[in-house]
Amino acid sequence: MNRNPYSARLAWKILAIFVLLQLCFTFLTIYRGLGFDEAIWQYIGRNWFRNGLPPYRGGVDNKSPLMFALYGFSDTLFGVNFWFARLIAIAAQTLGIFYLWRIATWVNGSRAGFMAMLIYGLSLLWHSVEGKNLSLTQTYEVTLSMVALYAFFRATKSSTFFLCGMLAGLGVAFRLSGMVMVAVIFLAMLRRRKKTGTYAAGVLVSMVVYFFLILIAGIPMGDFIQYGLLENFAQGGVSSHPLAWKLNQFASQFLFSGIAIFYPFLIAYILLKKRVDLFLLWLILGFLGIAAIGMFAHTHLRELLPPLAIISGFVANWALERCPLRDWQAILVLIIIFLPSFSEPVLAVKSILSKQIVVRSPAGNEEDKEQLGLWIKRHTAATQKVYIAGYSAQAQAYAERLSPSIYFNVTQTPAAKKQLFSDLDHDKPELIAVPGFPGYRNLVDQDIRDFVDEMVAKNYTFDTTAFQYHIFRIQH
């Protein structure tokens, strides 16, 4: 009896290696603190759990309330920290790698499944998909999508199809791009004439439960729609960019990044299959979803990695069956092709050992923003409100002080500006911190900067300069 070299035992060993690599990439970074997005979610989550201000009343961002809840829970347990949410994200992403292996093995065989898992696990760590930033809505949405897809492949009973729908719906609750997997499974079920009604009921129940939880958490549905969805596409919103900018982003992400490594595998797969199967459909719909947003951000590419990895694993297995390479040689070639860069972990270790001094940046350093937040915490009372101008979410998070406006971080839609100006005018903060670095003038609109400057000139006294910020206190 021949022993399968690609056994579950080997897969578990590779998963353990990927856990170690994820720990390395997410914690051995040049800046070891809350990232920009993490700081936003930390601030909103803390206001929700600590101060009783639900999302969109205690701060605005376009992410799912589930992410704010995760960071609020983290703050409740451990205070301001970055490590807890990242560990949860590593667990979720590892679960995703595991289920991708199960899917690819179920569909294409054990060797193709192993190769797909290897490719996926390595590509998740690429700089071109921001491999060090694991604590993202994509991490949970993509993982839930793959668990749902595996449930679909294995389903034989109505209860499993219903569960499949619920899992896919939960993915949508984390991120709207989860609708891609909802559609992929639904279309596959139509093609195979399976229980689409039962599956759709599962999706519907999952979404109804999600919206019910939003309402009982005190989040108005109008706020959820306005701030979580519509504001993204308003003039000045995160998706509001000229066509030339979008084309440049597209070229940067799809022509001049690591994602292009997949193209030979993708072309071979199309030639071999000669039809649009489930994985190609997944890839096409995923790309259309990214194009609809129009930002073509690094992290958006994570949506495409699972189908690309499964496709590449299939092609690599097909090629190995027809070439003289041994299995270990083919696997070594794949590792070399898809190996991520270890430059930042290496630099991080060097900076720790040598205790390097932070180099100041025109855009403002994350270290400076963290230190500014801690300085503000020491020099203000817990009940005093603080406004930190510019893209300064880290400072606001580490300060542990409320902003007088839900737009504590820069949002440059007309409605957001009007709300910010009204909030600052009617609820003047005890302290205002204005960036002194060039990035503030380059990135923040003139009317916002002018309003802050006029407000400071009329109502505030200069206190000091700290960490590249000018500090002003209100005149009593």
pLDDT digits (tens, 9 = 90+) for 329-373: 999 999 999 999 998 888 888 887 876 655 455 556 889 999 999
Angle at which helix 263-273 crosses helix 278-293, to 10 degrees, equals 130
Give the span between the Cα atoms of 177 and 232, in whole angstroms: 14
Per-residue confidence (pLDDT) for residue 364, from 0 to 100: 64
User: What's the confidence (pLDDT) of residue 361?
Assistant: 53
User: Per-residue pLDDT tens for 405-454?
Assistant: 999 999 999 999 999 999 999 999 999 999 999 889 999 999 999 999 99
pLDDT for 362 equals: 53
Helix (H) or strand (E) holding 397: helix 393-399
pLDDT value for 426? 94
| pLDDT (mean) for 90-108 | 97
| High-pLDDT (> 90) share of the chain, % | 82
With 0-12 CB in 10 A as exposed, 13-18 as middle and 19+ as buried, what is 167?
A: buried
| Beta bridge mates, 388 | 433
- Residue 229 pLDDT level (bands cut at 50, 70, 90): confident
pTM of the model: 0.94
Nearest CA to 401 among 373, 372, 371? 373
Q: Rounded to an integer, what distance in angstroms lies between the CA atom of residue 13 and that of residue 18?
A: 9
Q: How many helices (H) and strands (E) does the chain have?
A: 21, 4
Q: Which pLDDT does position 351 carry in this prediction?
A: 80
**Model confidence band, residue 1 (pLDDT cutoffs 50, 70, 90):** very low
Longest Cα pair distance anywhere in the chain, in angstroms?
Answer: 86
Tell me how far CA of residue 382 lies from CA of 24, 253, 379, 388, 403, in angstroms: 36, 43, 10, 16, 12
| Mean pLDDT over each residue of the chain, to the nearest integer | 93
Residue-wise pLDDT for 144-194, tens only, equals 999 999 999 999 899 999 999 999 999 999 999 999 999 999 999 998 877
Q: Looking up tokens 């001049």, which residue turns up? A: 256
**Residue 273 burial (10 A CB sphere; 0-12, 13-18, 19+):** middle
Task: Dig out the tokens for 352 from the structure.
Answer: 């720790």
